[in-house]
């Protein structure tokens, strides 16, 4: 079969085109380092490549989240270390304060040191990292602790952050300030905070007061209550246990043992203690948001709750909006119809006539939150318990940080494996590509020479 000149030209042009296209692909591979530039380059590789890329992106997000969490835990650990150091310093000051040879001026100097330690503790409690408060729970934009005189109140919430370190494994990455600094935790997941540890601010306040010579003094909040005027009744006409009228705003005094009582000069003998014999110390019931629960909210969580007053009459609707208080021992006080905590019984357990019910309120109608300043020696074990509380929290979060580090290392290893799989499908062997480029360029040059020789042929060469 004869081959015409035009057929030869077409064959040569096709070969030049193929070599040009091949050379272009090889040069692109050399420039990018990738052999899979289009789906058509290797259709069978598309699925594993896309799967590997997706897993790599997911791992990148996990690794980034784990790195951020580890950094926050490292910062948190530094602050917890500072908390422990402050408590150790406070204990050293307390031990010095027990020294009987110290003058009153020396003890005032030590009290000033405790005041400074408390200020430092307050600063640590409101620590920020990256503009976010680390001990505020979910309320990261709100300062978690607010000073109110000698009292420090928690304004954050008690929600816990958990990070999924691996499928199905969630690790706690924060501590609510109420747990670290006030010893409050929701131990039974009922949405109510229970006192399980030391209130560091109250403890330091007690220590400062004790060093200033106030051991045995009773406070209601930030107010020192002198013996003979420990708050007051509700201002209405009261009857004592014998049925005799008591003056309005009856003072509440301390007896010889320091127990709070109605002024016994009037004949009343109502002792402000709980059924367990503990002094009245009404505490608000706090929810996970750090806010006091109303009586209605408390009833919803713990039916039947407080549904009637001490006389058995239903509480007024407005009373259900009043804050719910518990005694310091966790028992429920009696309430009047307006939702105010009261004592409806005298010392002998006999019910008082309705107007004689004593309100557990101070002169400003705030629930009594009594605190007796302990002796210095009694504060030493509490300071050690507070330090242990900080160490325990630090240890738990240290374990969590280690688990996050392990998870991060595992994911980084998986990331390398995925990148190797992706490289096997996508990346080129540069030596092979360069060798193939040289071979293709040589073939292309040969094809050009052949084409040049063929183009010189003419019919005149055969005449």
- Confidence class of residue 228 from pLDDT cuts 50, 70 and 90? very low
User: Residue 238: what pLDDT?
Assistant: 46
Q: Where are the domains of the chain?
A: 5-33+428-462, 55-207+374-413, 218-372
The 10s digit of each residue's pLDDT in 34-54 is: 655 665 555 656 676 677 777
Enter the tokens of residue 417.
């494996």
User: Residue 202: what pLDDT?
Assistant: 93
The predicted model scores a pTM of: 0.73
Q: Of 33-42, 68-77, 285-294, give the lowest mean pLDDT range.
A: 33-42
Of 122, 149, 151, the closest CA to residue 369 belongs to 151
State the average pLDDT over residues 98-111.
90
Residue 389 has pLDDT above 90, yes or no: yes
- What proportion of the chain, given as a percentage, has pLDDT over 90? 27
- Confidence class of residue 59 from pLDDT cuts 50, 70 and 90? confident
Alpha helices in 227-375 (DSSP H): 295-301
- 404, 70 in Cβ contact below 8 A? yes
User: Residue 235: what pLDDT?
Assistant: 42
Residue 91 has pLDDT above 50, yes or no: yes
Place of tokens 């408060």: 133
- 254, 343 in Cβ contact below 8 A? no
Strand-pairing partners, residue 172, are 162
Element containing residue 23 per DSSP (H, E): helix 5-32
User: Residue 190: what pLDDT?
Assistant: 84
Q: Cα 298 vs. chain centroid, distance in angstroms? A: 24
Element containing residue 394 per DSSP (H, E): helix 376-426
- 145, 126 in Cβ contact below 8 A? yes
- 114, 211 in Cβ contact below 8 A? yes
Asked if the bond preceding 449 is cis, omega within 30° of 0, the reply is: no
Sign of torsion over alpha carbons 393, 394, 395, 396: positive
User: Residue 342: what pLDDT?
Assistant: 80
User: Residue 211: what pLDDT?
Assistant: 94
- 137, 290 in Cβ contact below 8 A? yes
Q: Would you call 298 exposed, middle or buried from its count of C-beta atoms within 10 A (0-12, 13-18, 19+)?
A: buried
State the average pLDDT over residues 279-297.
86
The CATH code that applies to domain 55-207+374-413 is 1.20.1330.10
Q: Of 68-72, 156-160, 358-362, give the lowest mean pLDDT range.
A: 358-362
State the average pLDDT over residues 389-403.
92
Mean pLDDT score of the chain: 77
User: Residue 269: what pLDDT?
Assistant: 42
Place of tokens 């789906």: 39
The 10s digit of each residue's pLDDT in 160-184 is: 888 887 777 888 999 999 999 999 9
DSSP letter string, 278-310: PBPB-EEPBBTTSSBPBHHHHHHHSTT-S-B-T
Q: What is the largest CA-CA distance in the chain?
A: 153
User: Residue 45: what pLDDT?
Assistant: 60
Of 93, 374, 382, 380, the closest CA to residue 214 belongs to 374
Q: Would you call 231 exposed, middle or buried from its count of C-beta atoms within 10 A (0-12, 13-18, 19+)?
A: buried
The 10s digit of each residue's pLDDT in 329-385 is: 788 888 888 888 887 765 555 666 554 566 677 666 777 777 888 899 999 999 999
State the average pLDDT over residues 83-97.
94
């Amino acid at each position: 079969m004869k081959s015409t000149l035009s057929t030869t030209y077409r064959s040569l042009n096709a070969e030049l085109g193929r070599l040009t296209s091949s050379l272009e692909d090889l040069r692109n591979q050399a420039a990018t380092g990738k052999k899979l530039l289009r789906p058509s380059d290797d259709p069978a590789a598309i699925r594993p490549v896309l799967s590997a890329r997706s897993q790599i992106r997911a791992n990148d997000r996990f690794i980034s989240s784990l790195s951020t969490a580890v950094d926050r835990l490292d910062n948190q650990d530094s602050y917890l270390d500072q908390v422990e150091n402050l408590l150790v310093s406070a204990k050293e000051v307390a031990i010095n304060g027990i020294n009987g040879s110290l003058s009153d001026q020396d003890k005032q100097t030590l009290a000033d040191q405790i005041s400074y330690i408390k200020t430092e503790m307050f600063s640590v409690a409101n620590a920020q990292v990256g503009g976010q408060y680390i001990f505020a729970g979910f309320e990261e934009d709100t300062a978690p602790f607010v000073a109110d005189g000698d009292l420090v109140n928690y304004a954050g919430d008690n929600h816990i952050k958990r990070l999924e370190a691996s499928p199905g494994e969630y690790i706690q990455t924060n501590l609510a300030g109420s747990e670290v600094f006030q010893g409050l935790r929701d131990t039974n997941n009922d949405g109510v905070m229970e006192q399980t540890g030391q209130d560091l601010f109250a403890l330091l306040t007690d220590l400062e007061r004790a060093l200033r010579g106030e051991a045995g003094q009773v406070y209601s909040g930030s107010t020192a209550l002198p013996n003979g005027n420990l708050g007051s009744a509700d201002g209405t006409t009261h009857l004592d246990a014998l049925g005799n009228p008591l003056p309005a705003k009856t003072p509440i005094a301390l007896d010889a043992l320091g127990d709070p009582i109605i002024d016994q000069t009037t004949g009343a003998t109502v002792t402000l203690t709980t059924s367990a014999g503990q002094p009245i110390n009404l505490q608000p019931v706090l929810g996970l948001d750090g806010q006091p629960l109303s009586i209605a909210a408390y009833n919803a969580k713990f039916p039947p709750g407080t549904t009637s007053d001490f006389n058995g009459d239903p509480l007024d609707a407005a009373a259900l909006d009043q804050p719910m208080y518990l005694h310091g021992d966790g028992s429920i006080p009696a309430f009047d119809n307006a939702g105010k905590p009261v004592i409806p019984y005298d010392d002998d357990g006999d019910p008082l006539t309705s107007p004689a019910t004593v309100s557990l309120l101070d002169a400003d109608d705030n629930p009594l939150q009594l605190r007796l300043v302990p002796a210095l020696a009694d504060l030493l074990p509490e300071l050690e318990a507070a330090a242990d509380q900080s160490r325990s929290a630090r240890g738990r979060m240290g374990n969590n940080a280690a688990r996050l580090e392990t998870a991060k290392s595992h994911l980084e290893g998986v990331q390398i494996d995925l990148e190797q799989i992706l490289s096997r499908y996508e990346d080129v062997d540069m030596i092979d590509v360069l060798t193939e480029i040289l071979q293709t360029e040589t073939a292309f040059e040969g094809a050009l020479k052949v084409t040049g020789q063929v183009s010189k042929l003419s019919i005149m060469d055969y005449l």
